[in-house]
């Protein structure tokens, strides 16, 4: 028995040495363990969501709509989206919008910026109390690989898609699993160099593999467990949030608390520069902005028992993402939560 334990220790040390030498990701738990644990936790989330009163309330009274117009609407909308900084300032790596956007119009590199162009994706870094989230456009057929490269470049451990079933059906948005399911060996994204300047890397190479996926039609929730560059990534889909509308606050809070619980697991621990979450809808502004605002409220209350000013946070975030929180309905939803936060989080 002692000899067996001794052999196991030797093998474990060898595995660590191999990891250090060749850069493999050695997880403390196997894929099977992670899948089993995650599925059970996700089923628990779905069961809770199904049991909730999931009616979508119209949070926009005349008073709220007037407040939105007065305090938020049209304030600090930049002429162009600011560049998205991926890691430390000293690394000077940026994302900037690659194509014309029907929602936001054309964007350009701000003058005077000296940086290597990381032409990855239309996404913006949004500062929150505990770090930052990323508000991004939803991936489609043309931008799918670049979206995966975004997740890989950021070493993001969690992303969430906030869309409706219709948006999946008409291909305005794309599930990652739909492209990876037939590639058992994984999906490889090749490095791309600029046509005009060979010294500029437009996109780095990344590897992506689908480990597991699960859906609850009744709860309108799905997840995909991925390995991106040999590190676990959890992608969640909330599939009944209609564009320009509000959603179920109880459901969003439960999703945020679930994500926070998952990120406490060793397999999903952030690196120093990882975002709290990469959040997309279609344009990465209305629903994504609403979710990030709710995330920031939740963080402040759980960590400091403080409730930040909702309008101020949205206006500041609009310095980084145009039309962040798109309309009075979405603003009313956040405002209502700020006034009833303890009811949602303490029960």
- Does residue 208 or residue 54 have the better pLDDT? 208
Rounded to whole angstroms, the Cα distance separating 50 from 38 reads: 18
Residues whose CB falls within 8 Å of the CB of residue 87, separated by 6 or more in sequence, listed in order = 93, 273
- Does residue 337 or residue 78 have the better pLDDT? 337
Q: How confident is the model at residue 121 (pLDDT cuts 50, 70, 90)?
A: confident
Tell me, yes or no, whether 4 lies in a domain: no
- Does residue 235 or residue 153 have the better pLDDT? 235
Residue 121's Cβ-side half-sphere holds a number of Cα atoms within 13 Å equal to 31
pLDDT attached to residue 30? 75
- Does residue 342 or residue 186 have the better pLDDT? 342
pLDDT tens, position by position, 283-315: 899 999 999 999 999 999 998 888 989 999 999
Residues whose CB falls within 8 Å of the CB of residue 216, separated by 6 or more in sequence, listed in order = 42, 43, 46, 50, 222
Give bridge partners of residue 240 from the DSSP assignment.
164
Residue 130 has pLDDT above 50, yes or no: yes
pLDDT attached to residue 195? 63
Percentage, residues of the chain above pLDDT 90:
40
Tell me, yes or no, whether 306 lies in a domain: yes
Q: How confident is the model at residue 78 (pLDDT cuts 50, 70, 90)?
A: low
pLDDT tens, position by position, 197-213: 666 666 778 899 999 99
Residues whose CB falls within 8 Å of the CB of residue 78, separated by 6 or more in sequence, listed in order = 318, 319, 322
Tell me, yes or no, whether 14 lies in a domain: no
Mean pLDDT of 5-29: 41
Domain containing 128 equals 29-345
Tell me, yes or no, whether 300 lies in a domain: yes
Rounded to whole angstroms, the Cα distance separating 119 from 344 reads: 40
CATH of the domain at 159: 3.90.190.10
Q: Is the pTM of this model over 0.85?
A: no
Asked whether 150 and 121 are in contact (CB, 8 A), the reply is yes
CA geometry: angle at 167 spanning 288 and 79, to 5°? 45
pLDDT attached to residue 105? 35
Asked whether 331 and 72 are in contact (CB, 8 A), the reply is yes
pLDDT attached to residue 338? 93
Query: In sequence order, what E strands does 106-157 have?
Result: 116-117, 123-128, 131-136
Q: How confident is the model at residue 191 (pLDDT cuts 50, 70, 90)?
A: confident
Tell me, yes or no, whether 15 lies in a domain: no
Count each helix (H run) and each strand (E run) in the chain, helices first: 11, 13
Give bridge partners of residue 159 from the DSSP assignment.
235, 278
Cβ count near 216 (within 10 Å): 17
Rounded to whole angstroms, the Cα distance separating 83 from 339 reads: 33
What element of type H or E holds 245?
none
Rounded to whole angstroms, the Cα distance separating 126 from 317 reads: 6
Residue from 280, 337, 307 nearest 126 by CA = 280
Tell me, yes or no, whether 54 lies in a domain: yes
Q: How many domains does the chain have?
A: 1
Rounded to whole angstroms, the Cα distance separating 98 from 120 reads: 7
Angle between helices 286-304 and 328-339 (to 10 degrees): 10
DSSP 3-state assignment of 11?
helix
Mean pLDDT for all residues in the chain: 77
Q: b or e along 188-215 (b: 16 or more beta carbons within 10 Å of the residue's beta carbon)?
A: ebeebeeeeeeeebbbbebebbbbbbeb
Tell me, yes or no, whether 153 lies in a domain: yes
Q: How many Å from the N-terminal Cα to the C-terminal Cα in the chain?
A: 49
pLDDT attached to residue 56? 60
Tell me, yes or no, whether 78 lies in a domain: yes
Residue 115 has pLDDT above 70, yes or no: no
Mean pLDDT of 37-53: 91
Asked whether 206 and 146 are in contact (CB, 8 A), the reply is no
Rounded to whole angstroms, the Cα distance separating 246 from 334 reads: 9
Q: How confident is the model at residue 170 (pLDDT cuts 50, 70, 90)?
A: confident
Residue 219 has pLDDT above 70, yes or no: yes
Asked whether 137 and 123 are in contact (CB, 8 A), the reply is yes
Q: How confident is the model at residue 86 (pLDDT cuts 50, 70, 90)?
A: very low
């Amino acid at each position: 028995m002692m000899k067996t334990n001794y052999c196991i220790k030797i093998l474990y040390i060898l595995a660590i040495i191999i990891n250090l030498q060749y850069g493999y990701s050695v997880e403390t738990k196997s894929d099977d363990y992670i899948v089993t644990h995650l599925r059970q936790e996700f089923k628990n989330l779905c069961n809770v969501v199904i049991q909730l009163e999931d009616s979508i309330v119209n949070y926009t009274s005349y008073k709220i709509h007037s407040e939105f117009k007065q305090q938020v609407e049209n304030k600090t909308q930049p002429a162009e989206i600011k560049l998205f900084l991926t890691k430390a300032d000293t690394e000077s790596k940026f994302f900037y919008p690659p194509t014309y956007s029907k929602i936001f119009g054309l964007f350009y590199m701000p003058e005077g910026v000296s940086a290597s162009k990381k032409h990855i994706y239309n996404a913006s870094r949004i500062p929150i109390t505990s770090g930052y989230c990323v508000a991004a456009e939803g991936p489609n057929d043309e931008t799918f690989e670049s979206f995966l490269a975004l997740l890989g470049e950021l070493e993001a451990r969690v992303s969430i898609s906030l869309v409706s079933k219709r948006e999946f059906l008409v291909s305005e948005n794309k599930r990652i699993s739909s492209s990876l399911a037939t590639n058992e060996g994984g999906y490889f994204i090749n490095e791309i160099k600029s046509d005009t300047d060979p010294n500029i890397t437009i996109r780095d190479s990344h590897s992506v593999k689908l480990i597991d996926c699960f859906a609850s039609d009744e709860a309108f929730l799905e997840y995909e467990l991925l390995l991106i560059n040999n590190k676990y990534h959890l992608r969640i889909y909330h599939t009944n949030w209609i564009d320009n509308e509000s959603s179920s606050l109880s459901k969003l809070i439960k999703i945020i608390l679930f994500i926070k619980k998952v990120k406490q697991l060793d397999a999903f621990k952030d690196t120093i520069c990882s975002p709290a979450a990469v959040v997309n809808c279609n344009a990465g502004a209305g629903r994504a902005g609403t979710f990030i605002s709710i995330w920031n409220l939740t963080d402040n209350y759980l960590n400091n028992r403080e409730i930040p000013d909702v309008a101020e946070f949205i206006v500041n975030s609009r310095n980084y993402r145009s039309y962040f929180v798109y309309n009075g309905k979405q603003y009313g939803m956040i405002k209502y939560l700020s006034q009833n936060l303890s009811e949602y989080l303490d029960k």
